[in-house]
Amino acid sequence: MEFPMKSYHMVQYYKHADSNPRVFIAPSKYIQGPVKYLGDYICSISPLKKDRSCLLLCSEGGIRRFGAKIEASLKEHNIKYSFVPIGHQCSWDEIDRVCKIAKEMDHCDFIVAIGGGKAVDLGKGVATTLDLPSIIMPTLASNDAPTSSLSVIYDEHSDERQGAYFNYKNPDMVVVDTEIIANAPARYLVAGMGDALATFVEARCSSENPLGESSVRVRPSLTALAIGEPDEHLEAVVEANTLMSGLGFENGGVSGAHALGVGITALPNMEKKYLHGEMVALGVMTELVMEKRFSECKELAEFFTTVGLPICWKQMNIDVNNEDEVKTMLNSCFAKFYAIKNMPFEKSIPVYWKGMKDAEAFCSPILEEKGQEMWNKYHN
């Protein structure tokens, strides 16, 4: 099966030698609301359509947790549906498998993906391949994947990351139930903060006119998570992590922080041990030090230690003096992540290796002073 996904961002289509237009890329609709109204939300996409049918992609655990509410809402609106348990990876084989299931249905009008990053990326890939509307319902606020056009593809057998591919459009709808988010482990929300803050830092590097900053009210949000109930603070952080970060990524661009975060995944078992936002947080520290934004780096480093994000490479057992380890990471970073070109530095191992060493030297005293109680809480 041919997959109509590209390894470059759709914004490339709009750039020409004599023109660099302003482009706004976003999901068609973003809703922070209860999943029990999913049927109403789906009907809003095609209000005149009478006979609706959708394919629901979800893990078996997700079906057990959310299936009853979703089924009740779909039945209320006479929306036919079929649950498809997802595999363990978003791969070309898995996209092909799900597409075949959708084609075997009497008819399929929508692809609904419910879950974490792999389910979200799979749903976007399937919808693009079948040219169907996609509805994304994340169960974590750990990154901005739900609102973006990006799908990260893995090898089905080795679990090796094969690359990041852009679908030709963003999701038609994103539905975020903050009650579900509030009952997820706090570590995921914290990782989302790292990803969201990286987006602002990188957008500024890519363009001195970033979309803007989002206010992150952290302590009350973590309190809301602790009691498992959403409040206005959690709502704001979820919006920042999911929507605003996604808009920043799509329209402002990314650069060094994400590139370095992707580079970490080239080291053994890193992607299994650490979340995307945690790896990107380390990239933020290095990017800010390389840009000589030391006061901002100190402020963010203190914030990161408070919520449980890493600020030193050694927190992930990465030795910045280990030449083989650093070269493996940086070679992957340069080869696999297009946006490293947005950094105003020579793309070479010596330059970025020095940046990593400088960041480690700058952040180590902060880590010693502030400690890593929250980081240890999530990783011990």
Query: What are the tokens at 229?
Result: 């109930």
For 325-350, write each residue's pLDDT tens digit. 999 999 988 887 666 777 778 888 99
CB-facing half-sphere around the CA of 208: CA atoms within 13 A? 1
Least confident of 93-102, 158-167, 183-192: 158-167
Q: What angle do CA 200, 184, 224 make, to 5 degrees?
A: 75
CB 218 within 8 A of CB 117: no
pLDDT of residue 50: 80
Percent of the chain with pLDDT over 70: 84
Query: What are the tokens at 326?
Result: 């650093």
**pLDDT at position 362 over 60:** yes
pLDDT of residue 282: 95
Query: Any idea how long the chain is?
Result: 380
Q: What is the mean pLDDT of residues 173-198?
A: 90
**pLDDT at position 99 over 70:** yes
Q: How far apart are CA 195 and CA 274, in angstroms?
A: 13
Domain 10-176 is found in CATH 3.40.50.1970: yes
For 233-258, write each residue's pLDDT tens digit. 788 888 888 887 777 666 666 678 88
Confidence band (pLDDT; 50, 70, 90) for 157? confident
Least confident of 107-111, 139-143, 169-173, 218-222: 218-222
Encode burial over 311-338: b for 16+ CB neighbours within 10 A, e otherwise: bbbebbebebeeeebbeebbebbbebbe
**pLDDT at position 94 over 60:** yes
Which part of the chain has CATH 3.40.50.1970? 10-176
Q: How far apart are CA 196 and CA 301, in angstroms?
A: 15
Least confident of 224-238, 263-277, 297-311: 224-238
Q: How far apart are CA 254 and CA 252, in angstroms?
A: 7
Q: What DSSP state is assigned to residue 105?
A: S
Q: How far apart are CA 98 and CA 132, in angstroms?
A: 13
pLDDT of residue 11: 53
CB 250 within 8 A of CB 272: no
**pLDDT at position 48 over 90:** no
CATH topology of domain 186-379: Dehydroquinate synthase-like, alpha domain (1.20.1090)
Task: Tell me the pairing of strands 29-32 and 80-85.
Answer: unpaired
pLDDT of residue 245: 75
Confidence band (pLDDT; 50, 70, 90) for 290? very high
Burial class (CB in 10 A: 0-12, 13-18, 19+), 101: middle
**pLDDT at position 1 over 70:** no
pLDDT of residue 334: 85
Q: What DSSP state is assigned to residue 6?
A: B
